[in-house]
Structure 1
């Protein structure tokens, strides 16, 4: 073994250790955040708690991504705020706004459901064409329903503008949209193949991956402070 090889292996080991430790910390943080998400949903009586809990999760994930980016560029040390306090602070502050956002998303899904019922009652060739269009719209709305939450955690724009931003982002960054679609497809496949994963990890891995993809794509500009920013 040469001195260069030995030095390379010595340099590789600390990197592997840091990678494994970081992966373990991430897994634990996502698991704890999943438990907090469940508590957040229950705190609102399930129906009123679903959207604030989801908004709070994305707020915490955004803060983690901002802190990690600052640590990488050396502008600030890695900061890990107390998970419990961060989650419930976001839950309370996002309660009203997240309800409106959730209502818009639910209205879209309700409209698609009504359209599907109408299409199923159709007759002739129009039904096949309309069914194809409805499938495309359903996939697009599913993507919007997922992507809008990281953007909502990052920007304070009014909800109609936020939805427009989401649609423009998806249309302008096709690789990002396809990547998120692949994440959703993999999530559905895993839930169908290993249903026991759902109560253990819930939606947190998917939320984290979507937030990470949006952040790495450059679609979310780094703010000058950890609070959310309004898009100019």
Structure 2
């Protein structure tokens, strides 16, 4: 949302409702002046949202953790949600201090938020300049490289590591990703991870169908979820399908 973008607060706001389909949700958020908020339509309503004027609201922090907050849809256009006042919400994915060049700050923020794939490529080129823009671009590149290396080292093993590395490859696109891609390729050969990826693919398609406005597609999505849960109960997305 605009307030988070302006203040550079390192969190995402996510609102979920069973009442507003994707386009209606987008229109609603825009009408409230918070179109940068992540909106989701979930007809399954796992959080038990009741009134049409209420949405399930969570904060997504850089480390991937979610913090649930309670708020009704009563805020006016352009005003920050009350619970965001004074919020710090964690650390930035690419922490950098001392940036003053507007252009560098803008690109850093896009990369930091993962808003634009490959945003760092622009700074890699700018870092070659012999001026303040070049110096500050290099600060961002250095910090991003450190964050990438730390993320790669801490990824761990198994399917959770695979998905973490996928996220790193998107955020740090523009840097040297040879080591990361090599690790992804290595993990991808594991039969267990291959099965997990197959389950994920099926789950995402079923999720798309359940979010459809067409009853037949919704039913197909629910049936697919049930079938996935039964066929692959030992996978992450098989378990997730069983909870829907």
- Which category describes the TM-score, using the shorter chain as reference length? under 0.3
- The structure with the largest strand share of the pair is 2
The higher relative CO (CA closer than 8 Å, separation ≥ 6) is in: 1
Structure 1 length-normalised TM: 0.26
